[in-house]
């Protein structure tokens, strides 16, 4: 009997279709992780450029035998997997007392949202099978502007790999320019 009630409640949950939604927080559901997809062309470009710089650094290290070996590099599989980010379903009621669900990607301070807070949410559509994603929240009850913090492709790849890729791309560009000019 309990599952029937929850099934009926689930069927009554709508998804907002407008970009800005104003309503009252009913409940923050338990969060779960979802993996961010990493586009292979971007990853190939970054890893290739970083490899050029890596080879140059390896050559320099071999000349200076006193230098310590390189740190542990992440494998292609680990880089391709992408970062995981927290997804928290958020249930809201509008002024007509209809129940809606949206997804909050990333982290907010624990004290940022409470049941019964009135909020104005800016939404971004996702896959048609998923509720819209929250871009920012204005908590009308407390007057706070909230933006969830989540992992990105660039934070997943990390500053060392990106710096190495930039330097590698500059070296390749310099070699190409020299070859064209000579």
Flag whether 27 is in a domain.
yes
pLDDT in tens, 61-86: 766 654 444 555 677 677 777 777 88
Flag whether 61 is in a domain.
no
Flag whether 91 is in a domain.
yes
Range of the structural domain that residue 137 is part of? 12-55+79-181
Flag whether 129 is in a domain.
yes
Work out how many domains the chain is built from and give that number: 1
Flag whether 45 is in a domain.
yes
Is 140 exposed, middle or buried (CB count within 10 Å of its CB: 0-12, 13-18, 19+)?
Answer: middle
Residue 181: what are its φ and ψ, rounded to 5°?
A: -75, -25
What CATH number has the domain bearing residue 126?
Answer: 2.40.50.140
pLDDT in tens, 99-144: 999 999 888 877 888 999 999 999 999 888 889 999 999 999 999 9
């Amino acid at each position: 009997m309990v599952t029937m009630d929850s099934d009926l409640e689930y069927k009554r949950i709508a998804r907002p279709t407008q970009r800005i939604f104003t309503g009252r927080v009913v409940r923050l559901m338990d969060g779960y992780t979802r993996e961010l997809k990493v586009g292979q062309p971007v990853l190939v470009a970054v890893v290739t450029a970083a490899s050029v710089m890596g080879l140059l650094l390896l050559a320099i290290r071999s000349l200076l035998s006193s230098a310590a070996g390189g740190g542990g590099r992440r494998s292609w599989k680990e880089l391709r997997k992408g970062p995981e980010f927290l997804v928290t379903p958020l249930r809201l009621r509008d002024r007509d007392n209809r129940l809606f669900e949206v997804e909050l990607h990333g982290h907010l301070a624990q004290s940022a949202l409470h049941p019964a807070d009135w909020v104005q949410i800016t939404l971004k559509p996702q896959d048609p099978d998923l509720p819209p994603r929250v871009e920012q929240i204005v908590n009308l009850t407390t007057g706070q502007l909230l933006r969830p913090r989540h992992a990105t492709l660039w934070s997943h790849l990390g500053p060392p790999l990106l710096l190495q890729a930039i330097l590698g791309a500059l070296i390749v560009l310099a070699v190409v320019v020299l070859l064209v000019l000579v």
